[in-house]
Structure 1
Amino acid sequence: METTLAWDHNRPFIQELSVGNEHIDALGHTNNAIYVGWCGDIAWAHTSALGLGINCYRQLNRAMAMQHAEYDYLAPALLGDKLLLGTWVLNSDGKLYSERGFQLVRVSDGKTLFRGKVRFVCIEMSSGRPKRMPNAFIEGYGNAAVYKAG
């Protein structure tokens, strides 16, 4: 039986994951910190795929730094589960902020196990202070955004 996955938004950037022993905590399920780490990994992979990886960040002396995060753990991921983690740039104001969404789905039954949302602020890497997004960020994140400004 093939399960149709119900993604929250169209065209997610996807990574395949498998739950191994190293992900399991004392409660017998995937530890919540693992989910957060997976979100960080896929956010970087998607950012790099948009042409905005760490080398671009360094060259422009700008970065998108996490300002606020919300995570909803809906059901446990268990040892051996095959998972798909999807992410999207939800929106970008083209000035200082962008927001990224995450959804973790178990392949066997299509059940969403986790959702997350992170708000990022553009900073100058050398000072850590908020700074306007450079054009490369405005175009890269803005063009990838699910919800377009304006």
Structure 2
Amino acid sequence: MAVYSETITAGPDDIDELGHVNNAVWVKWIQDVAVAHWYAVAAPEHHAAYFWVVTRHEIDYRGNVVAGETVTAQTWVPDPPRGARFDRHMKFTGADGKIRVEARTTWAMIDRATGRLARIREEIAAPFLA
């Protein structure tokens, strides 16, 4: 499986009244990293033809992150797609090596021209499963 990584630093606008990254921000980061992975790995003709929507999030919060703290996001697709959907795994690890957040999200591929679900063909999935 191909793992995509990205570093994120929490800014003041990411912090809630408890003094750490807000849960809604984690969801945004999950989406941002997944979309960045798509654009980094998929063929340009696939970018033009398809986009993704989330159908399910399952998130485990294991630790807090404060303003100025950096985490490393890693995401991967562990299994072949099922029709128009696949599961993506993600984890965010602090500089101390401790996992702060883990997630499993289900994504569905949409055909840009029709706005309908599109079966994920082998050539689209292959770069994510390598």
TM-score w.r.t. the length of structure 1 is 0.74
CA contact (8 A) 1:123 1:129 kept: yes
- Structure-1 separation of matches of 2:39 and 2:54: 16
CA contact (8 A) 2:39 2:47 kept: no
- Structure-1 separation of matches of 2:78 and 2:2: 12
Percent of pairs identical after alignment? 25
* Equivalent in the alignment of 1:141: 125
Question: What is the correspondence of 1:1-150 to structure 2 with a 5 Å cutoff?
Answer: 12-52=3-43, 56-58=46-48, 60=49, 62-93=50-81, 95-107=83-95, 109-133=96-120, 135=121, 138-145=122-129
1:139 positional shift: 2.1
Residue range with higher mean Cα deviation, 73-82 or 124-133: 124-133
How many pairs does the alignment contain?
130
1:119 positional shift: 0.8
- Structure-2 separation of matches of 1:63 and 1:16: 23
| Residue segments in structure 2 that go unaligned for 5+ positions in a row | none
1:132 positional shift: 1.8
- Deviations along 1:104-132, one digit per CA (max 9) or x if unpaired, are 0001x111000111111222334432232
1:101 positional shift: 0.9
1:52 positional shift: 4.3
The RMSD of aligned alpha carbons is 2.2
Letter in 1 for 2:4: F
- Deviations along 1:12-50, one digit per CA (max 9) or x if unpaired, are 311111122121111111111111111111111111111
Residue range with higher mean Cα deviation, 44-53 or 69-78: 44-53
Residue range with higher mean Cα deviation, 113-122 or 91-100: 91-100
- Structure-2 separation of matches of 1:127 and 1:91: 26
